[in-house]
A and B are shown apart, each in its own frame.
Chain A
Amino acid sequence: MDEENSRYSNPYLTGVMLGLVLLASFLLLGAGLGASGGLARLAAYIEGLLVPSHTHASEYFGAWGNNPLNYYLVYMLIGIFLGGLFSAVSNKRVSFGLERGKSASIGIRTAFALAGGVLVGFASRLAGGCTSGQALSGGALLLTGSFVFLICIFAGGYAAAFWVGRQWND
């Protein structure tokens, strides 16, 4: 594991690369990067499969029409997955398993991951974006809301870190 970590690229240069991808997104698409937008579309699609009439009648998902997957951020999310897969495979970093501290139980880690997901999914909708779409993209545009969001992410994260740290205990 440690040997693998050392093979990660220089974080600063990787950041520059990410920044250039974001810049390209601004100049070509006219919008920043986004991951939660595609995820929410997927959520709308899934809810639409389960309870179609209810979903289409709902105020938030309903506005996306009968085919919520027909949206550029869905394609971007697919791209993120495939790009990540390509990089992980070519760097031999694919390993199936649940990442957790050695002394943390699978149950705890799974529960935290699930609860964290629910919170993040909800919060992303409330903020109209996640770390990529709101914090990073909006931050690069110097939008006030994005800075407020970013600062509050760190505030919330550091405030909760102590209580959920045991999942990483070795």
Chain B
Amino acid sequence: MIKTFYGLGVLDSSAACFTAFIIGLFFGLALERAGFGSSKRLAGIFYFNDMAVLKVMFSALLTAMLGLSICISLGWIDLSDQVYLMKTYFGAYIVAGLLFGVGFVMGGWCPGTAAVGMASGKIDAAVFFGGAIAGSILFNELYPIIKPLYTWGESHQNSFGLPGVAFFHTTLGLSKTGFAFLFTAIAVCCFWAVEALEKKYAPASTTDRYLNSPFLKSFSLALIVIAGSLFLLPSQPPAKTARTKPAAASPVSPAPAVSEKILLEHVASAQDHVEPEELADYLMNGIPGILVVDVRPSQEYRQFHIRGALNVQLPDLPVFAEQSESAQKIVLYSNGMTHPAQARDALFRMGYTNVFILTDGLTGFADRCLKPVSLRTEPLPVYSANQINRWRAYFYGRNASREAAAKQTIAYQGTLPSLINTEWLSENLQHRQVKIIDCRDQPEYNRNHIPGAMAVSPENFRGVVEGIPSMLLPATFLAEKLSLMGILSSDIIVLVYGGDRIRDATLIGMVFERLGHQRYGILEGGFDKWISEKRSTNTELRKMAATTYQSASARDPFTLSADEVFSYLQNKSAVILDVRPVDYYTGKKSDEARGGHIPGALNRPFTEDIMKSEAYSALKPVAELEAAYASLLLSKETPVIVHCRTGHQASQTYFVLKHILKYKQVFWYDAGWTEWSTRKELPVTVGTEP
């Protein structure tokens, strides 16, 4: 992809000026060779006795147009941001064109040719040039008066998100390639016509004759073939992606463009819509990150609106969209679909890709979701009828206050992920957004558990990934599992361990780490502390409706592969902590292909972070952990890689370092010794020395 001086924003640099100078040299050379150092020859086009201007100009235009089209098709240059595109002002350009034409035929020159004419010693060129300077000054003096004319008749087209930039093929309703071909064909016909004209009217002595010459035949054929071959090239550059919005978009800077093609693809695949039923479920289940916006006038909004909708007028939408950039979806609706669809497309072009419209608008919503079952002509299955009744109850406000309370987002004092104390849990046990995951074995859970807790073994989230056993599953699988459990990304998750198996809770914690779910914590002291404080338990199963947990598809940033660990090792750019028991570290004991440890790795068994009291086990006090790790790691910024055999024990050290001690760069080598020991090319050391 070519970066131009314009695209880089350095068109005023000396390098750009020098390039412009060189280009100017060739430009002047070409003009002079064409005979444009003569005003008589230039003016000849208006008297049909010398059509050189037309021949040169159209040949040049075709060459540049076809050449540029090929470059765009091959993805060498992106027109949308690498080339300066002038706006179209119909009124201004019509007036300017007519004036220019009169001036051209009077003077016999245009600015570029006049420069060449002066170089050829033509006095009239110098006079013309002086006149043009005077004309420019005149324009400057008249500018305050004629300013409206200067921008008169701006095109309504919007190309690459640039308002006013209009393409002629779009104006004519043709494809770009089709237009280029048609234009080439017309130009070739013009060449033949002017040759015939010259033969008839121009004195034979003044111009060369090309009519029916082998040259003109082959030249015409070459142009047609090249223009035709454009049909074979892709009309869009290979990998054109939508430009994303820059993080710090100021209101004055033009919003970045999104290609029209992507916009149309979204429209075609209905990715710009939200169906009424879908929206009703979103709202009723209180899924966060969804903003519903009523774009109707405020008096209509006050009469009735979809419960939970905000009222924003169309002109205020860009500001609203900017402020709500973090929202997953902004759903626009009005009575019908036209206005919100236009607004949505405009916002999309400005780079806000999270905006949707409600299919059929408020009318459709009322018809499809809120119309009483008794008034419907079509027979409905029981399930749908119940659903409609639930929607009606919700959107017409029955039980509104209770649900509103339940919908409220629960706040947590302090930062998560962290340890959550038993007192907080006991107070917030009933809240809809608090989900308790009991990591103990199923029989223990069956005997008794914290009310509302779900029994989930950490093994649920592990499996063979690319041949390596006991790996945490990819994010999409994890999200599926959480969906079945009825968990939403807005929930606060409390992980409960039994005995000293804090690592079971931290391993499930890694699930939430991978999904970027911040609001989770580990119950301090686990189930045993809960019991020792004689807090309530029961044996009931909590009924949960499945949800759709939104997953991030990108790889998490903290899980490392063996190769990545090896490259850290080679560069000595991270501390490797082996958290297995000492005997496995030294190689005295081994359950794998090779015993020992990664050369340079320090041993800090995970068990050293745990303290046992009479009633329960918990992580050691922060000060104690702080001191222990300060002796191993230089600073909080030090990159540190934790590993064990399968990633299980290491998840505990990960939690301690990352969330208790707030180390900034903690990585997790999930595959651990299971993988490392089998890869013979990777180095291994035995003994107590790192």
Contacts and interface: CB of A to CB of B under 8 A. Distances in A.
Contact of A59 (B106, B143, B169): B143
B48 to A, nearest CB: 9
B531 interface: no
Contacts of A134: 86, 93
Contact of A157 (B59, B82, B105, B150): B105
A63 B150 CA distance: 16
Query: Which of A46, A96, A119, A130 has the most chain B CB within a 10 Å cutoff?
Result: A119
B101 A144 contact: no
A85 B32 CA distance: 8
B115 A35 contact: yes
Interface in B8-66: 11-12, 16-35, 37-41, 43, 45-47, 52, 55-65
Contact of A84 (B43, B116, B171, B210): B116
Contacts of A10: 208, 210, 215
Interface in A19-76: 19-33, 35-36, 39-40, 42-44, 46-47, 55, 58-61, 70-76
Contacts, number: 536
Nearest to B3: A30
Given A31-B83, A93-B120, A143-B88, A19 B59 contact: yes
Interface of A: 2, 5-6, 8-33, 35-36, 39-40, 42-44, 46-47, 55, 58-61, 70-88, 91, 93-101, 109-110, 112-132, 134-161, 164-165, 167-168
Contact of A81 (B5, B18, B118, B131): B118
B100 interface: yes
Contacts of B352: none
B132 A121 contact: yes
Given A82-B28, A136-B61, A2 B103 contact: no
A123 B99 contact: yes
A16 B56 CA distance: 8
Contacts of B76: 27
A104 B2 CA distance: 52
Given A18-B34, A117-B130, A156 B102 contact: yes
Contact of A77 (B4, B24, B96, B102): B24
A72 B27 contact: no
A79 B7 CA distance: 23
B23 A139 contact: no
Interface residues of B, number: 138
B56 A121 contact: no
Given A59-B144, A99-B124, A117-B129, A143 B115 contact: no
A60 B120 CA distance: 32
B21 A75 contact: yes
Given A72-B20, A87-B32, A160 B101 contact: yes
Contact of A72 (B16, B47, B157, B205): B16
B104 interface: yes
B131 A15 contact: no
Contacts of A14: 30, 33-34, 56, 59
Given A72-B11, A79-B24, A5 B35 contact: yes
25 contacts: A10-B210, A12-B56, A15-B56, A29-B20, A43-B137, A76-B24, A83-B26, A91-B32, A94-B120, A110-B127, A116-B109, A118-B135, A123-B100, A123-B103, A126-B99, A130-B112, A132-B111, A138-B86, A140-B60, A142-B179, A145-B88, A148-B90, A153-B100, A156-B99, A157-B46
A86 B29 contact: yes
A85 B169 CA distance: 38
Contact of A116 (B55, B83, B128, B141): B128
Contacts of B482: none
B291 interface: no
Contacts of A32: 84
A42 B100 contact: no
A165 B45 CA distance: 12
Contacts of B410: none
Interface stretch (B160-168, B509-517, B605-613): B160-168
Contact of A142 (B65, B67, B129): B65
Given A20-B63, A138-B86, A160-B102, A84 B135 contact: no
Contact of A144 (B22, B71, B104, B166): B166
Contacts of B176: 142
A74 B206 CA distance: 34
Contacts of A42: 133
A86 B30 CA distance: 11
A120 B20 CA distance: 23
Contacts of B135: 117-125
Nearest to A130: B111
Contacts of B120: 84-85, 88, 93-95
A161 B46 contact: yes
Contact of A75 (B18, B121, B180): B18
Given A93-B37, A157-B105, A84 B84 contact: no
Given A23-B68, A35-B115, A30 B11 contact: yes
A97 to B, nearest CB: 6
Given A79-B21, A145-B155, A155-B98, A96 B123 contact: yes
